[in-house]
Structure 1
Amino acid sequence: MNDAAFEAWVESAKAARIEDVAATVLNLKVQARGELQTACPNCGGSDRFSINAAKGVWNCRGAKGGHDAIGMIMHARDCDFIAACELITGEAPPKRESTFKPRDPQIDREKREERKDEDRDRAAQEAAERERQANRAEALFGQAQPIEGTLAERYYARRGIILGAFSTTDLGFIPALAYRGFTDPDAEEETHLGDFPCILAAARDARGVIRGVHRTYLDSEGRKLRPPGDANRNHAKKGTFRMGGASIMLQPPADGVFAIGEGIETCLSWLALAQRGEFGDEYAAAGAAAAYSLGNLCGSATGSKPHPCPPRGRKNATIYNGEPDMSSQAVWIPEGVRRVVILGDGDSDPSETRARLQTGAARFRRLGFEVLIHMAGPGPIDWNDAMLSTMAEQKAA
């Protein structure tokens, strides 16, 4: 038996690029250094299987995943090591018996039926959990009092935002709300660290159902709280329950123009400038909603591409490829809107932010909207910085 020939055959299978194997064996197209999410060829599901060409890895929620093409084929084609190498190389093992066996159609049919039953059960469980969380979110927001005359009003006034100028019915205030966090860097679980004043924002779905609640904890002076405990993990701003796909409505649109941004203060600052006519009359009656996160603002992409300027320590960093994944969740747009303005802040990685915003723009264009990306300005500033700067310049003039 020629062991050297066999080892060379195995090595050729190991050396195969995962995206090439996905294309030739699984008929799945993955861009070089990109990522794909799809149904698993073996265990099904709509989004449980992923291949990351940039990292050379794959994953499936029905398996542990792995770091090479051989393991991917063993799972996807439900075969052993030898058969996987044979499928990858297109050659039988040198002077050894092939273990490759054609898939049994009956077994495939039985697996499909099992997956349908599992998917139905999982969908029912997920729907019940969504309903429970929606009830809890509504109960939490129901505890809030109007924001006028509270520390919350003082918090926004410090940022030059006068809430009385907006229809912010989905903002409320609780004088003392429990804060849970990590006591120190070694803590593994969150615990109750005190009760603090808190701004609540209702995140609603397109039907008006509260799906999540955004919290901004304050100190006794109306400033953003510096939470006790682990400073790296405990944050003053938190989203809870289900924020994905929901929007925090800050101003309903009155003239077909609607702005969406990541944060509440970003959107309110842009609205203040719009109402003052800084962007022209066509934006003066615009509405706006906050998305809570860039992911919820723009949705996901179908894949990724290399970062043009990788941050230090992340030489293999990637950014969105700009092609929207229309099956992913993102904020909803109210009826009657014709133009969507996507708000971008410049106080984070500019390449990553721009790639996400462009992906979001492509998404909303496909949904039939006119789309404009509106950045806060050159340099590392956000829209609140831009608003305060504009107001200061006008006051000095």
Structure 2
Amino acid sequence: MTAAIDLFIEEARAVSVVDAAVSLGIVGPSFKGNHAGPCPVCQGKDRFAISSIKGAWNCRNCGIGGKDGISLVAHAGHIDVRSRAGFLAACAEVIGKPLPDEAERETEEQRAERRKRIEAQKAKNEAAAADREKQDNAYRDREVKQSRGLFFGASADPHADVAAYLKARTSYDMPAEVFAYLRSNARCTYWHGRDERGHEIAHYTGVAMIAPFVDPAGQVTGCHQTWIDMRCEPKFRPDLGTDARGDPLPTKKMRGTKRGSLIPLFGLMSSTRWVGGEGIENGLSIAGAEKFRADTFYFAAGDLGNLCGPADPKSRFVHPDLTKADKNGRQRRMMIAGPEPKVDQAPDEAMQAADHVTELVLLADGDSEVIFTAAAMARAEKRLTRDGRTVETWWPPVGMDFSALMTRY
């Protein structure tokens, strides 16, 4: 082995996993921390990981990993580094330079074999992706159909507990129009866990408020269920026990598709003024305070992710205070999704405001972590801003949401 080849190999070995990942377009130039996403070979959605802290990568599906840029580039390029020629070809790829003249090169047969491996893997990936999409679509269709059945099977004649719940959580009596959207089921089953035969267990049955998720065309795509127990103050929701980890079971569930859809609360979607936030109770609290304005459409997004949409990964930042323990028990500063919206996001990745909306008011939660929420609301404002439309965020006092504000004063 000549000095030129020795130098060539050492230069390749100096390329880190992160540098190689940047050159392959897997992560951005400013990447720090941990990355999880699709593998460049098997395309598994969340089985491929890169750690800038450990300087390592691995794919749980392929069962392979490494701690240098050579191994990552070889994996992505289907290069067999077990042969001398393959190893040198990977070195050339990782530093973007041609092989020294005296270096051993892949033969035509080896290159043809590598191309064959790439085509075979590509065909396998495409078949697997098509199968996953087919299964996902079938599952989504079943969920949408079931959620529509839950909503349209619920009563538009409000159960006394649903009306009492909304009055208790907002301090306002609801007009009849609200109950066209917020229906009730006096005996709604809460399914949780599975028995020894794999069947879902009917964990609880009680009164539930059933709300629809509707898409921009007004079609029902999902439903939101809130179980109610007027004996359980202050939020009037039942104690359903805990899950396997000891965490309280949620008293709200969402079925079907919520991304890109929203929950109508009062008014018409044709209105030019829209007001809404994450939750049903907060939206109706503001609607009541505004005396259910006839020119306004009040809505809920269901959760913060659907309201604010995904963030541009480049806008992530370190939280000034919060830390999180890694798997070794070491406390590390938490990374927060930033204020910039994901570039070129699809309409079904988050709720949309109709083009005719000229005034949009977003409702923040003051009882959520303030920095995380502020970044998310800033992202929502940027995502939903259009020419001819004003977008602003209303904040309740720190430590409160609008529901608590309206019922306290």
Q: TM-score, with normalisation over the residues of structure 2? A: 0.74
Q: How does 1:1-397 map to 2 (within 5 A)?
A: 13=13, 16=16, 18=18, 20-26=19-25, 29-33=28-32, 41-42=40-41, 63=62, 68=67, 70=69, 72-80=72-80, 82=87, 84=90, 87-88=93-94, 119-120=129-130, 122-159=132-169, 160-164=171-175, 167-181=178-192, 191-219=201-229, 221=231, 223-230=236-243, 232-251=247-266, 252-253=268-269, 255-275=271-291, 285-303=295-313, 304-311=316-323, 313=325, 315-325=332-342, 326-327=344-345, 329-334=349-354, 336-365=356-385, 369-377=389-397, 379-389=398-408, 392=409
**Structure 2 CA distance for partners of 1:133 and 1:65, relative to 1, 3 Å:** farther
Q: Tell which deviates more after alignment, 251-260 or 95-104.
A: 95-104
How far residue 264 of structure 1 moved from its aligned partner, in angstroms, is 0.6
The aligned counterpart of 2:84 is none
> Structure 1 stretches of 5 or more lacking a match?
277-282, 393-397
In 2, Cα distance between equivalents of 1:97 and 1:273: 78
Contact 1:168–1:249 (Cα < 8 Å) also in 2: no
How far residue 213 of structure 1 moved from its aligned partner, in angstroms, is 1.5
In 1, Cα distance between equivalents of 2:14 and 2:201: 47
In 2, Cα distance between equivalents of 1:149 and 1:107: 63
Contact 2:44–2:61 (Cα < 8 Å) also in 1: no
SS of match in other structure, 1:208: coil
How far residue 262 of structure 1 moved from its aligned partner, in angstroms, is 0.8
In 2, Cα distance between equivalents of 1:341 and 1:309: 29
In 1, Cα distance between equivalents of 2:55 and 2:366: 32
**Structure 2 CA distance for partners of 1:153 and 1:54, relative to 1, 3 Å:** farther
- Paired letter, 1:294: L
**Structure 2 CA distance for partners of 1:131 and 1:181, relative to 1, 3 Å:** closer
Q: Tell which deviates more after alignment, 153-162 or 75-84.
A: 75-84
How far residue 197 of structure 1 moved from its aligned partner, in angstroms, is 1.2
Aligned-pair Cα RMSD in Å: 4.3
> Structure 2 stretches of 5 or more lacking a match?
82-86, 326-330
How far residue 173 of structure 1 moved from its aligned partner, in angstroms, is 0.8
Contact 1:141–1:201 (Cα < 8 Å) also in 2: yes
How far residue 65 of structure 1 moved from its aligned partner, in angstroms, is 8.1
- Paired letter, 2:279: G
In 2, Cα distance between equivalents of 1:274 and 1:58: 54
In 2, Cα distance between equivalents of 1:207 and 1:263: 21
In 1, Cα distance between equivalents of 2:135 and 2:388: 34
**Structure 2 CA distance for partners of 1:112 and 1:339, relative to 1, 3 Å:** farther
**Structure 2 CA distance for partners of 1:240 and 1:10, relative to 1, 3 Å:** farther
How far residue 310 of structure 1 moved from its aligned partner, in angstroms, is 1.9
- Paired letter, 2:216: A
Contact 1:22–1:30 (Cα < 8 Å) also in 2: no
In 2, Cα distance between equivalents of 1:312 and 1:120: 37
SS of match in other structure, 1:199: strand
Number of residue pairs the alignment of both structures matches = 374
- Paired letter, 1:350: V
How far residue 35 of structure 1 moved from its aligned partner, in angstroms, is 7.8
SS of match in other structure, 1:145: coil
In 2, Cα distance between equivalents of 1:112 and 1:210: 37
Q: TM-score, with normalisation over the residues of structure 1? A: 0.76
Percent identity (aligned): 25
The aligned counterpart of 1:280 is none
- Paired letter, 2:241: P
SS of match in other structure, 1:287: strand
Contact 1:30–1:36 (Cα < 8 Å) also in 2: no
In 1, Cα distance between equivalents of 2:381 and 2:186: 39
How far residue 22 of structure 1 moved from its aligned partner, in angstroms, is 2.4
How far residue 372 of structure 1 moved from its aligned partner, in angstroms, is 1.0
1:307-340 Cα deviation digits (max 9, x unpaired): 2322464523111122212425101223521222
**Structure 2 CA distance for partners of 1:121 and 1:308, relative to 1, 3 Å:** same
1:95-138 Cα deviation digits (max 9, x unpaired): 99677987966776676666556555544443333322211111
